Amino acid sequence: MARRYTVARRRLAGPRWSVLLAGLRHPRRFFADLLERIRDDNILTVAAALSYYFFFAFFPFLLFLLALVTLLPVHGLEDWLLAQGGQVIPGEAYGMLERTVRGLLRQPRSGLVSVGAALALWSASAGFAGVMAGLNRAYRVRESRPWWRVRLEAVGLTVGLSLFMIVAFVLAVFGGQLAKLVGQTLGPAGVVAARVARWVVALGLIAFVVATIYYVCPDVEQQWVWVTPGSFLFTTGFAAASAGFSYYVGHFGSYQKTYGSLGAVIVLLFWLYLFAFFLLLGGEVNALLEHMSPAGKMAGEREAAPAEVQAERIARAGGSPS
């Protein structure tokens, strides 16, 4: 019985795809509940505040990343970083980003690896600290972790994201050479396998970063899930919105005419706003599924209920383990 209960709990604990599918059987009620949460948590305003934090954390993060690169035998990351930014950041904002990065690169490299880099790391971590506050709002909990722990976790997430970007750069640059080497040894099948493995690893890294944000940032006990409905919504939604916004800015936008020299800043701020909105929206979906789940936590709960309480909830929901 205990084993069957464990299986039922894992099957019903959110945020899970099975809970989402159960909720979508009544789409009207599900989306009404989601819209009510969005309104009650006021995520449009919270996203605006987060974009403010992100804006001030963006360039210190670049400074820390460049300082980190000077400690590693990695060359060409700067140009690759700018190339990747050019694919997702609207043109006017990208121009400002490129000028800033080029200006940092013109500074003596020894000056980057200094106390200034540590201060840049501390400033960049403010963005993740803001994400923690926003996701706590989604789960309806107050922050109970000491301020120093919150900040240390934010610093750790910032360092982890920096290392992830360096690994992604290595895969992008040297993945093709590795595929050729494998092809010379194993033939055409080896080339295909190496390229597939390269993309699988890259997508796995992206999934790991997003899952870590949703796992670490809210002050609630959670089970590790590689791809949650919220993380999938964030990744696909932000990618689509970013592409659409870039196309609009490139073909129809007139921010320079409206805002003058501040046009690039406004574009970057709005792009960061989209990032913050979809990040919070994914958190709201995960929190809703968690609170919908019979074996999950109720709104405001940080830890899972005792086993007998969960068993009672599962039984009331028609998923009794017995």
Sign of CA dihedral 266, 236, 20, 10: negative
Phi, psi of 50 (to 5 degrees): -65, -40
Q: What is the DSSP string of 276-293?
A: HHHHHHHHHHHHHHHHHS
**Angstrom distances, CA of residue 23 to CA of 19, 27, 94, 155, 291:** 6, 7, 40, 36, 11
Residues 131-153: what's their mean pLDDT? 90
Q: What is the DSSP string of 218-277?
A: SSS-----SS-HHHHHHHHHHHHHHHHHHHHHHHT--HHHHHGGGHHHHHHHHHHHHHHH
The pTM of this model reads 0.79
Residues 35-46: what's their mean pLDDT? 92
Residue owning tokens 């210190």: 60
pLDDT digits (tens, 9 = 90+) for 14-32: 567 877 887 788 889 889 9
**Residue 4 pLDDT grade (very low, low, confident, very high; cuts 50, 70, 90):** very low
Copy the structure tokens of residue 303. Answer: 């830890």
Is the pLDDT at 281 greater than 70, yes or no? Answer: yes
Taking residue 198's Cβ as centre, other Cβ atoms within 10 Å add up to 17
Most confident by average pLDDT, 22-31, 39-48, 51-60, 158-167: 39-48
Residue owning tokens 């909830």: 313
Copy the structure tokens of residue 261. Answer: 């020299």
Q: What is the pLDDT of residue 61?
A: 78
User: How far apart are the C-alpha atoms of 164 and 171, rounded to whole Å?
Assistant: 11
pLDDT digits (tens, 9 = 90+) for 62-91: 777 777 766 666 666 667 666 766 666 766
Mean pLDDT of the chain: 75
pLDDT digits (tens, 9 = 90+) for 170-226: 666 555 656 666 666 666 666 677 667 767 777 788 888 888 999 999 988 888 888
pLDDT digits (tens, 9 = 90+) for 83-119: 766 666 766 677 777 777 777 666 655 545 566 667 7
Contact 286, 15 (CB under 8 A): yes
